[in-house]
Amino acid sequence: MAQEEGGGGIDPMHQFQIEPMFGSWDPAGGSLAFTNSTLWMVFALVAVWLFMLGGMRRELVPGRWQMAVESVTGFIDDLLARNIGPEGKKYVPYIFTIFIFILFANLLGLAPVGVFGMHPFTVTSHILITGVMAIISFGIVLVVGFWRHKHRFFTLFVPHGTPLPMVPLLFVIELVSFLVRPFSLALRLFIAMTAGHVLLKVFASFFIQGMNAGPEMGLLVSLPSLLLMLFVSALEILICVIQAYVFALLSALYINDAVNLH
Amino acid sequence: MEVEAARLIGAGLAAIGAGAAAIGVGYIWGSFLQGALRNPEAANGEQARLYIGFAVTELLGLIAAVIGFILLFG
């Protein structure tokens, strides 16, 4: 990660580079490769699998692990019941999948495995990944909305009690705000993760450069930046959880629009 | 070199947007805390709305950060 640039700076964007791990196969101009992004997605999958496996033993008296798993599933169940109502049950698998994948991908990206020479890679810091998840959410909203309400789905864009002359204007405004949803959903997660990781790397580079500049500079610069880095790391863990929750919550609210047509 | 300087100044100016969003997020959490201390029973029911407001406000700060990134690295 400490890639030397001109002037001895440390490049904080290097951590987001996608590199093929075992070479790539290029059929017809494209490129298929097992990249570091793929590797960390596999890690997230394995971690989720192990986590869920520990909670699926169906014991009569749940142990600690089972309580942890049940509190997560119960949390998502409750989220959907409160925001969508009794019909929300059908969407629990989707929302739960997206929540737990984002949560594990975010947290694994913060894993301190750099000490062992592995470079942690945050899967959700690429708009390609978050964009695909946002498009799936948006697609569910469109399919469910048109399936259940047919052409009446368009009444979503005209709030109740709108005076007639205002209808065309409001229709356009609501339509634009509806169409922007997948972008804002994808952008929020991707930028929150990117910005947080860049911040951590910038403080880390302050620490290293301060230490290199001698003992008094080390005390003056390195110590405060190390303390600040500790604090920012704790904040990052909080942000990981909040962003996963916000993605799940907003997906649930958008699906609520499609199901209940406010 | 003047274009390079203008890019760096622009990236710095974009950071103002992040600060403005910080004011907004602080206002949201502060107002929630104020309401929650006055009526603790109603606080739990409003948590979803709190996070929606937080997410919408935070997005604007993040967009300012994107513009900064584009200017610096794009």
> Cβ of A242 under 8 Å from any chain B Cβ?
yes
> Cβ of B63 under 8 Å from any chain A Cβ?
yes
Q: Do B66 and A191 touch (CB under 8 A)?
A: yes
Nearest chain A CA: its distance from B62 CA (Å): 6
Cα distances from A31 to residues A24, A80, B71, in angstroms, run: 6, 40, 29
Beta-carbon contacts below 8 Å between A and B: 35
> Cβ of A250 under 8 Å from any chain B Cβ?
yes
Query: Is the pLDDT reported for residue B35 higher than 90?
Result: yes
Q: Closest-CA residue in chain A for B51?
A: A246
Mutation site for A-interface testing, chosen from B57, B66, B71, B72 by largest number of A Cβ within 10 Å? B66
> Cβ of A135 under 8 Å from any chain B Cβ?
no
Q: Which residues fall within 8 angstroms of residue A152, CB to CB, at 6 or more apart?
A: A261
The rounded distance, in Å, linking the Cα atoms of B11 and A39 is 33
Q: Do B52 and A195 touch (CB under 8 A)?
A: no
Rounded to two decimals, what is the model's pTM? 0.86
User: What mean pLDDT is predicted for residues A93-104?
Assistant: 94
Neighbours of A252 (CB within 10 A): 24
- pLDDT reported for residue A10: 67
Span A177-212, pLDDT tens digits: 999 999 999 999 998 898 888 888 888 888 888 888
| A45-61 b/e (C-beta count within 10 Å ≥ 16 → b) | eebbeebeeebeeeeee
Query: Is the pLDDT reported for residue A13 higher than 80?
Result: no
Query: Is the pLDDT reported for residue A151 higher than 80?
Result: yes
**Dihedral pair phi/psi, residue A4, rounded to 5°:** -75, 130
> Cβ of B6 under 8 Å from any chain A Cβ?
no
Span A218-240, pLDDT tens digits: 888 888 889 999 999 999 999 99
- Homologous superfamily of B2-73 in CATH? F1F0 ATP synthase subunit C (1.20.20.10)
Nearest chain B CA: its distance from A47 CA (Å): 27
Q: How confident is the model at residue B30 (pLDDT cuts 50, 70, 90)?
A: very high
Q: Closest-CA residue in chain A for B66?
A: A191
Listed range (A11-20, A91-100, A128-137, A157-166) with the worst mean pLDDT: A11-20
Q: Are A159 and A174 in contact (CB under 8 A)?
A: yes
Q: Closest-CA residue in chain A for B57?
A: A188
- pLDDT reported for residue A9: 60
Domains of chain A by residue range: 14-22+33-260
Q: Are A261 and A84 in contact (CB under 8 A)?
A: no
The rounded distance, in Å, linking the Cα atoms of A199 and B17 is 17
Q: At what angle do helices B47-73 and B2-38 cross, to 10 degrees?
A: 170
What is the Cβ-side half-sphere exposure of residue A93, based on CA atoms within 13 angstroms?
A: 2
- In this complex, the residue of B62, B69, B73 whose CB is nearest that of residue A192 is B62
User: What mean pLDDT is predicted for residues A134-150?
Assistant: 92
